[in-house]
Structure 1
Amino acid sequence: MLRPGGADLTIAGGVREFGRATPDVIAVRDGDRQLSYAALDERSSRVACALLSFGLTTGDRVALLCGNRLEYPEIAAGIAKAGLVMVPVNPRLTAPEVAFILGHSGARMLIADSEPDLDFPGAFVRIGPEYEKWLDDARAVDPCVAVNERDPFCIAYTAGTTGDPKGVLISHRSRSLTFYATALEWGIGPGRRTVAVAPMYHGAGFAFAYAAVHCGATVSMLRAFDPDALLDMIARDGAQSVFLVPTHAQLIRGAVTTMPKLPTLDTLYFNAAALPRVLKEWVFEAFPGVGVHELYGSTEAGVVTNLRPPDARRKAGTVGHPWFATEVRVIGPDGQPAAPGEPGELYSRSPYLMNGYHQNPAATAACTTEDGFLTSGDIVIRDEEGFLSIVDRVKDVIITGGVNVYPRDVEEILLAHPSVTECAVVGEPDDRWGERVVAYLVSPGPVEPDVLEAYLRERLAGFKVPKQYRPVAALPRNAAGKILKRELRSTP
C-alpha cells in the first residue's frame, strides 16, 4: 500500500526508470566498455541479489573500495536495490585508515578492485573475473527491498579535525533531490553527456557522476586525471557538462599548449576550493562560449550556493547565492545575524543536509541547530546583493587538489616520531594544487625530511604528506597556549 504522496525516493530509482524508458541508451562508458540502461538495470539487480545471498539484511553496510570505473554505478545502484548502505572508501588511503573506516562503519562486506592489505572479517569480492562470476550466478531480478527515503544510502567518511574520520550519513532523499537539481542547473539529464572526472569515492565526485544515470544521461569514466585524456574524452564522447575542481583547470593550463575545439561542451562547474581570479579568466579564454558555474558546499551540507554564468565575471571571488531550496544564515561572533559586508559563520538549511555523523552524536550536535541549520565551519561575507564570499575557515582544513586534508591527522602521526617535539601543519597557497601541506617542526636536532616523508607515507595517504618541512625554534602561541597558525602562514 502506497503512502499518501507516492513512493519513497531512492538512488536506485533512476536506473529502474530509464532501464524501462530508454533501455538502449548508453548509461556508462569506460574505455571500450559500455552499459546500456537495460544492462545497468539488470546488472545492478544481480548485484543486489548477490549481496542478499550473503545473508545481508536491510541497513547492513557494504564497503566499496575502487576508483572510477564502469562497475561503480551498478554497484551503488545494486546496494540501494538491496536496501543496504554503501560505504565508499578512498583507494589512496593506507591499510590502517581503511581498517578504521571498515570497523567504524560496521561493514559486513567489501567490494574492491584490488586485494586490500588488511585483515577484514567480512565477505570480500574482487572486481574482475571473480565479480563477473558472482553476478552470473545471481538472479537478474530486482529484489525491490523497501527503504525509507530519509534513511541513509551511504556513510561517507571525512577526516576529522580532532582525531579519527567522521562518517557522514547521507539519505536517499538528500541525494535524489541533489541529482534532480543537478539536472536542472547543470544539464545532467536525458540526452546529455558528462564525464566522471572527480573520484566517485568523494561526495561531490559521486553526486555529479551518478546524477547522470539517475537522470537519464550518459557518463564516461575517467580512470585517472590527465589533461589530454580528459579533453580527448570530452571530444570523443561529445560531453556537454563537466564538473572540475580548480586544480584540474590549473593542470590543463600547464599541460596543454593548444586547446582543442570542443563543440559540444557548454557547461563547466567548479567546486572544492575557490577558483582564483587569474585562473578563472584563463578558463573563460580557454573555453569560449562555455557557461562557467562556481559552487560551494560540503559533504555534510550538500550544495549550498552557486555562482551562475551571468554573474561569473561581475561577481568573481564569490560563490553566488543559495542553491535551490536552501536557506542560509550568516552569524557574527556575537551570535547575531551579520550585516552585509561583515564576516560571520555560514549556516544552511536544505533537503540536502546529512542525517548526522554515524555513532557520533556529540559531533552532530556541535554543528547543527535546534531548528535544522548546519554549519561546516566556514566564515563568509554577504554583500548587499546577497552574494556570498568564503573568507576563512573556522576549522583548519587544507584543500589540496580538491581533496580535504585535516592538519590534526598529520600532526598526530608526526608527533609520534622521535625527532619531532612539537609541530603545526598548515595549508599555504600553491599555484598547482590550490594549497600545499606544510609542516612546521620543533625538533631537538636536525630534521631529515626524507626520513619523515618515508615515515609518514607508511601511515598516511600520499596527499596528506607535507610538501615542505620547516624547522622553527618555537611555535607562536597566544596567551592561552593555542598555536597561532595564521602567523605561521604569513611566515616568509
Structure 2
Amino acid sequence: MINPLFDNLFGAHTENDDPFLYLLNGQIITYKKFLELSAKISNAFFDLGLTPGDCVAIQVQKSPEMLNIYAACAQSGLVFLPLNPSYTVDELEYFIENSEARLIICDEANKRALVHIAKKLGIAVETLNADATGSIIDKSLPLSDKFETVRRSENDLAALLYTSGTTGKSKGAMLTQANLLSNGSTLMNEWQFTQKGRIATRLFPFFSHSRVFGTNVCSGEGR
C-alpha cells in the first residue's frame, strides 16, 4: 500500500456512493463526496506549503469537515494534532510550540488569540467553523477534488496526542500509522462493527479512543 492509514480507512471508497455520515439535519454525506472535499483540502495544504511530516494543530468543534481535515492529513502525510477547545491560551501556546506545528486550524471565535501565538512562532492560521464555513474551506473549494496520495509507511508518525499533564507538563504521545490502524481493528473486533452498522458518537474530536477509526476500518456508517 502507498499509504497504509489512508488506504485502509478511505482509499477504497473514492467512487463509493454509499452513505458515510448521517447528520442531525437529515443530510447524508457519501464516501465519494466526503473524499472529494478531503482531496480539495489536501491540495490546499500543499498550496500552503506543508510537506509530509509537518504537524497540523486543530482546535475546532465537532463537524464533518473536521473529519475531512483528518482524512486530508492522512492522505497528505501530515501529522494530526487535535486540541481540546477548552484549553487556555497559555496551554495552546505550549502545545503548538512543543509540537512544532506548521499550521493551526481554529474556530473563527478563537482566531484572535491564536493569531498572536502564530505570529510569535511564525506559523499560519486558518479557520473552520461548526457550520462548515472558514478560510480553509474557502481555500479548498476551488481546488481539484483529486489528490495523489502521499507515500508513507506504517512506522511514520500520523498523530500527536498530549497527555493530561497530571504529573507535570503534558507530554506528546507519538502515534504511528500502525498504532492508529491497530486501534481501529481492535475497536472493530471488540465492538463487533460491521459494514451494515451505524455508529452514533457524541465524543469530541480530541478523544483518541473514538469510533472514527473502527467505523472506517469496517466501512460502516457514522452519525
TM class by smaller structure: 0.7 to 0.9
Task: Find the residue that maps to 1:86 and give its secondary structure.
Answer: strand
Pick aligned residue for 2:62 from 64, 68, 79? 68
Task: Find the residue that maps to 1:55 and give its secondary structure.
Answer: coil
1:42 match:
36
- What's the offset of the Cα at 1:218? 1.0
The letter of the residue matching 1:45 is: A
Task: Find the residue that maps to 2:87 and give its secondary structure.
Answer: coil
Per-residue CA deviation, residues 426-483 of structure 1 (Å, 9 max, x unaligned), is: xxxxxxxxxxxxxxxxxxxxxxxxxxxxxxxxxxxxxxxxxxxxxxxxxxxxxxxxxx
Task: Find the residue that maps to 2:68 and give its secondary structure.
Answer: helix
- What's the offset of the Cα at 1:131? 3.2
- What's the offset of the Cα at 1:148? 1.5
Task: Find the residue that maps to 1:87 and give its secondary structure.
Answer: strand
Q: State whether residues 79 and 159 of structure 2, in contact with CA within 8 Å, keep that contact through their aligned partners in structure 1.
A: yes
Structure 1: runs of 5+ lacking an equivalent: 1-5, 221-492
Q: CA RMSD in A?
A: 1.8
Q: State whether residues 66 and 201 of structure 1, in contact with CA within 8 Å, keep that contact through their aligned partners in structure 2.
A: no
Higher relative contact order (CA 8 A, sep 6+): 2
Q: Which structure features the higher share of strand residues?
A: 1
The letter of the residue matching 2:53 is: G
Task: Find the residue that maps to 1:168 and give its secondary structure.
Answer: strand
Normalization by structure 2: what TM-score? 0.87
The letter of the residue matching 2:143 is: A
Q: State whether residues 68 and 196 of structure 1, in contact with CA within 8 Å, keep that contact through their aligned partners in structure 2.
A: no
**Equivalent pairs: percent with the same residue?**
22
Task: Find the residue that maps to 1:203 and give its secondary structure.
Answer: coil
1:156 counterpart = 2:161: yes
Q: State whether residues 12 and 214 of structure 1, in contact with CA within 8 Å, keep that contact through their aligned partners in structure 2.
A: no
Task: Find the residue that maps to 1:196 and give its secondary structure.
Answer: coil
2:23 match:
30
Matches within 5 A, 1:308-327: none
Describe the shift of the 1:13–1:43 C-alpha distance in structure 2 as closer, same or farther (beyond 3 A): farther
Describe the shift of the 1:129–1:57 C-alpha distance in structure 2 as closer, same or farther (beyond 3 A): closer
The letter of the residue matching 1:218 is: E
1:114 counterpart = 2:112: no
Q: Which structure features the higher share of helix residues?
A: 2
How many equivalent pairs are there? 211
The letter of the residue matching 2:205 is: M
Report the Cα distance in structure 1 between the residues aligned to 2:142 and 2:2, rounded to whole angstroms.
31
Report the Cα distance in structure 2 between the residues aligned to 1:165 and 1:97, rounded to whole angstroms.
9
1:105 match:
99
Normalization by structure 1: what TM-score? 0.41
1:199 match:
204
2:14 match:
19
Structure showing greater radius of gyration is 1
- What's the offset of the Cα at 1:113? 2.6
Report the Cα distance in structure 1 between the residues aligned to 2:64 and 2:178, rounded to whole angstroms.
24
1:216 match:
219
Describe the shift of the 1:129–1:112 C-alpha distance in structure 2 as closer, same or farther (beyond 3 A): closer
The letter of the residue matching 1:126 is: T
Q: State whether residues 57 and 82 of structure 2, in contact with CA within 8 Å, keep that contact through their aligned partners in structure 1.
A: yes
Q: State whether residues 108 and 123 of structure 1, in contact with CA within 8 Å, keep that contact through their aligned partners in structure 2.
A: yes
Structure 2: runs of 5+ lacking an equivalent: none
Task: Find the residue that maps to 2:62 and give its secondary structure.
Answer: coil
